[in-house]
Amino acid sequence: MTERRDASAGQPPPEQAPPPSLGEIGLRLVAPVLVVLQLFGEHVQLLWQSFAWLFRRPFRPRLFFEQMEFVGVGSIPIIVLVGFFTGVVSALQAYLALTRFQQERWVGAAVGISLARELGPVFTALMITARAGSAMATELGSMRVTEQIDALNTFAVNPVQYLVTPRVVASILMMPVMTMLFNVVGLVGAYIIAIIVYNIDFGQAAELYRFYTDPSDYLQGLIKSVVFGMAMAVTACYQGINVRGGAKEVGLATTRAVVASSVAVLVIDYPLVQIFAAIWPAGD
């Protein structure tokens, strides 16, 4: 297109471009959709490759443990902090709402269910995206621009196997663990607010929590966190290894990685909840 425009600019009788055919119009309309589909496809491909390389020699357990330490152990302080205050605030809000009907004893059940199903997995995924996802994109991005990824290739080491697989696997394994930690700490926060600060009867609150919060609630949260961990790691690694350029592009890739992973977590959340609703209908 540009060529044609440039050529016609110099000639006095401008040659009229033929009107676009129906097919062309159609193509232009679907182009953005195709871009999104291609991007999605490339993510799926990277995920597939990272699993395929998991089963090929050489196995490098050290790399997996390093990433598990980084994604998991390294995230403990932030998860504890955020989990505690999430529990505190949900208990407080639940108390303030329920106390209007003198139904404060339901605080435990309300906080327990919302932590297990929604707050735990989603907040954990967002915090780990911010911490580990951004680091993955930055690290792989700077390795790319300083030719370290090319260097791996010259040593006959596959970069996906060496860099992406450990990160994806570590995220899948550690995300549920961190989610459970979040749940536990959140309940401690809720206990402090409800039982110690607002003097709700512990026996009633605990019994209602025990009765209404099912293992299936926790299972739903854990399944979600596995999917979130996978989505976060693949998105971050994809952005990292596809950086072209220099330091500026690494920064942009990091931003894109965090935004895309966070959006992915929140968007994927909906269909999962819908599926879980079919498997575990409400009120059973």
Partner 1 sequence: MAEDLTRPDPRWHIRVRGLHKTFGPQHVLRGLDLDLERSKINVVIGGSGQGKSVLMKHLMALLEPDQGHIYVDGRDIVGLNDVEIRDVRRQFGMLFQNVALFDSMNVIENVVFPLVERYRMSESEMMERARELLVRLDLAGVAGIEQKFPAELSGGQKKRVGLARALINRPQILLYDEPTTGLDPIATKNVDDMIRRTADDFGVTSVVISHDMASTFRIGDRIAMLYEGRIITAGTPAEIQARPHPVLREFVETSGAVTFTRAEARP
Contacts with partner 1 by CB under 8 A lie at 58, 142-143, 146-148, 150-151, 153-157
Which amino acid is it at 207? E
Smallest gap from Cβ 140 to partner 1, in A, equals 12
Token pair, residue 64, equals: 């997996």
CA-wise closest residue to 217 among 109, 131, 60 = 109
Smallest gap from Cβ 247 to partner 1, in A, equals 12
CB atoms inside a 10 Å sphere around CB 34: 10
**Judged by CB, which is closer to partner 1: 52, or 96?**
52
Query: For tokens 């990292």, what's the residue?
Result: 240
Rounded Cα distance between 257 and 225, Å, is 18
Smallest gap from Cβ 134 to partner 1, in A, equals 17
Q: What burial class does residue 283 get, using C-beta atoms within 10 Å of its C-beta: 0-12 exposed, 13-18 middle, 19+ buried? A: exposed
Q: What backbone torsions phi and psi does residue 21 show, to the nearest 5 degrees?
A: -75, 165
**Judged by CB, which is closer to partner 1: 56, or 210?**
56
Token pair, residue 107, equals: 């605080």
Rounded Cα distance between 218 and 221, Å, is 5
**Judged by CB, which is closer to partner 1: 23, or 58?**
58
Smallest gap from Cβ 61 to partner 1, in A, equals 14
237 contacts: CB under 8 Å, gap ≥ 6: 46, 50, 136, 137, 140, 163, 164, 167, 168
Rounded Cα distance between 208 and 201, Å, is 11
Smallest gap from Cβ 173 to partner 1, in A, equals 21
CA-wise closest residue to 160 among 170, 171, 172, 149 = 149
Smallest gap from Cβ 42 to partner 1, in A, equals 17
Smallest gap from Cβ 46 to partner 1, in A, equals 19
**Judged by CB, which is closer to partner 1: 29, or 156?**
156
**Judged by CB, which is closer to partner 1: 142, or 262?**
142
**Judged by CB, which is closer to partner 1: 125, or 143?**
143
Instruction: Confirm if 116 and 221 have CB atoms less than 8 A apart.
Output: yes
**Judged by CB, which is closer to partner 1: 80, or 241?**
241
